[in-house]
Amino acid sequence: MPRGYHWLKQPYALFGEEREHMRQVIIIGSGPAGFTAAIYAARANLKPLLIASSVEVGGELMNTTEVENYPGFPDGIQGPELMAKFQEQAEKFGTEVLYDDVTSLDLNGPVKTVTLGSGAVHETRALIYATGSAYRKLGIEGEERLSGYGVSWCATCDGFFFREKTIAVVGGGDSAMEEATFLTRFADKVYVIHRKDSLRASKIMQERAFANEKIEFVWNSEVAEVLGGDSVTGVQLRDTVDGTLRDLPLDGLFIAIGNDPRTHLVHDKLELTAEGTIWVDGRTSKTSVPGVFAAGDVIDPTYRQAITAAGSGTVAALDAEHFLADFDDASVEVPAAEAAEVIVA
Under the banding of pLDDT at 50, 70 and 90, the label for residue 174 is confident
Do 22-135+259-329 and 151-255 show the same overall fold? yes
Query: What CA–CA distance (Å, rounded) separates 181 from 165?
Result: 14
Catalytic residue among 75, 157, 300, 319, which? 157
- Residue extents of the structural domains in the chain: 22-135+259-329, 151-255
* List of residues 6+ apart from 210 with CB closer than 8 A: none
Under the banding of pLDDT at 50, 70 and 90, the label for residue 63 is low
Under the banding of pLDDT at 50, 70 and 90, the label for residue 259 is confident
Q: pLDDT at residue 18 above 80?
A: no
Active site residue 154: yes
Question: What is the CA 4 to chain-centroid distance, rounded?
Answer: 27
Task: Give the whole-number percent of the chain exceeding pLDDT 90.
Answer: 74
Query: What CA–CA distance (Å, rounded) separates 106 from 108?
Result: 6
Active site residue 328: no
Cβ atoms of 223 and 254 within 8 Å: the answer is no
Nearest one of 189, 184, 167 to 255, comparing CA atoms? 167
Q: pLDDT at residue 233 above 90?
A: yes
Name the CATH code of domain 151-255 (choices 3.50.50.60, 3.30.420.130, 3.30.420.40, 3.10.150.10): 3.50.50.60
Question: What would be the CATH architecture of the domain defined by 22-135+259-329?
Answer: 3-Layer(bba) Sandwich (3.50)
Catalytic residue among 158, 297, 300, 319, which? 158
Catalytic residue among 75, 106, 154, 260, which? 154
**pLDDT tens per residue, range 79-114:** 889 999 999 999 999 999 999 999 999 999 999 999
